[in-house]
Amino acid sequence: MPFNTKHIPLLVISILVILQVAGFLLTDIVRVSEREVAIITRFGQVIDQRTAGWSVKIPYIDNVAATYDLTVKSFSVEALSATKDQQTVKIKVNVQYKIDSSKGQDIFRLVKDQKSLEDFIVPPFIQESVKASSAKYTASELLEKRDMFKSDVEKALQERLKEYFASVVAVNIENVDWSDQFDRAVEEKVIAEQGALRKKQELEQAKIQAEIDITKARTEAESTKIRGAAIRDNPETLEKAKIDKWDGKLPQVQGGTGTIIDLTNNK
């Protein structure tokens, strides 16, 4: 059958359409945002991870098995702990962490999806880190060294999360709730300390007042001693003092040997 050149354009178009359809059937588009990493598997085996942008995969053969969020995640977790001196305390911490964007395939081999990581891995790790850190401190030390305790929690959690290729961004202590028995003991201690301080202050004030009184008595005694010595050595000083004090008036009544004379009657 002779080939008709008139059919060439139609043949070319048909071939292009077939190739395009085949290409569409044999490829698939993968779109990954800049905040994610996608894990590609082929027959259940990890073959690649895709970061931000567009890419293709083989349909029906390759599969996007998991997508991990690379943004910083925040968790608030409570841990019922005990101090070194066996005081019960409930500690609430907020932890911010993120996964290593370059380790998506390794994370997938350990835990299949991010929800499992966040639901079953991270919260227990936080609780364990809090409990292990609080056991290093007595109750009073935990109250006084809060920043040090927070640092210990962060270090302990950092070591645990490394196992899952994640890292701690920040740890914050949101609340420390002591048992009612401990709260009463602290309150009683504060009241006792305040009472002791008040008694100490009163004792110090009494001591100061006593020293003032002693100093004043010594000063008066010394002054009396000096005046006595001055009078003894100079008798005329006493007479002069009497004269200085006399107002120039004679006594109104003067008596002697039982006789009373009214000095005011001049008649």
pLDDT exceeds cutoff 80 at 195: no
Mean pLDDT of 182-188: 62
pLDDT exceeds cutoff 90 at 168: yes
Q: Hey, which of 22-26, 170-174, 228-232 has the most confident mean pLDDT?
A: 170-174
Confidence category of residue 267, pLDDT binned at 50, 70, 90: very low
CB 32 within 8 A of CB 67: yes
Residues in contact with 56: Cβ distance below 8 Å, sequence separation at least 6, in sequence order: 27, 28, 29, 30
Asked: is 73-178 a CATH 3.40.50.970 domain? The reply is no
Nearest-angstrom CA–CA distance, 92 and 78: 4
pLDDT at 183: 58
pLDDT at 206: 80
Each residue's pLDDT tens digit, 81-91: 999 988 889 99
Output the CA–CA distances (angstroms, integers) from residue 81 to 45, 105, 122, 159, 178, in the order listed. Answer: 42, 35, 17, 20, 10
Each residue's pLDDT tens digit, 200-241: 877 888 888 888 878 887 777 777 777 666 666 666 655 665
Nearest-angstrom CA–CA distance, 139 and 134: 9
Q: Hey, which of 45-59, 145-159, 218-232 has the most confident mean pLDDT?
A: 145-159
Write down the domain spans for the chain. 5-67, 73-178
pLDDT exceeds cutoff 80 at 262: no
pLDDT at 192: 64
